[in-house]
Amino acid sequence: MDWCRYRFRSVWRLPAPPDAVYAVLARAEDYPRWWPQVREVVPLDDTTGTARFRSLLPYDLVVTARALRRDPAARVLEVGLGGDLEGWARWTLTAEGAGTRALYEQEVEVRARLLRALAVPGRPVFRANHALMMRGGRRGLAAELEEEARREPTADDGRRGPV
């Protein structure tokens, strides 16, 4: 077993339609606003950016993410990762009743020197750290979706378009 390789899978059930969830997830530069453990996202160009993460452990991970797939029709977002984590991450969204089932999958190898040195004894802590990060992300995304739904004008809110 390679102690520096991780495979994560999380399922989030969200009370918003898949297209609304996709729209929020597609705006990676906004993640720090609603996902507490995503400390910074800096776009480099239309398909690449850097991100800095920190969960419970007092250690930042910095990655460069490059869009591999942005498919609004299939509701799939996938990025390749380099830097402290090397591999990929993917969101796959499907309708579930009136809401969304958001599947997050990630396969990475830890490249950060300190985390590699602590790979064996730290593995359970690293997995717990990831779980806490995902819990914070799910809560933040649900709140962001609620806020966006409140901001959206409805057909009967009295607003009129151009005549």
Residues 105-134: tens digit of each pLDDT: 999 999 999 999 999 999 999 999 999 999
Write down the pTM of the prediction: 0.90
Q: State the Rg of the chain over Cα.
A: 17
User: What is the residue-wise DSSP string for 83-94?
Assistant: ESEEEEEEEEEE
Residue range 15-51, pLDDT digits in tens: 999 999 999 999 999 999 999 999 999 999 999 999 9
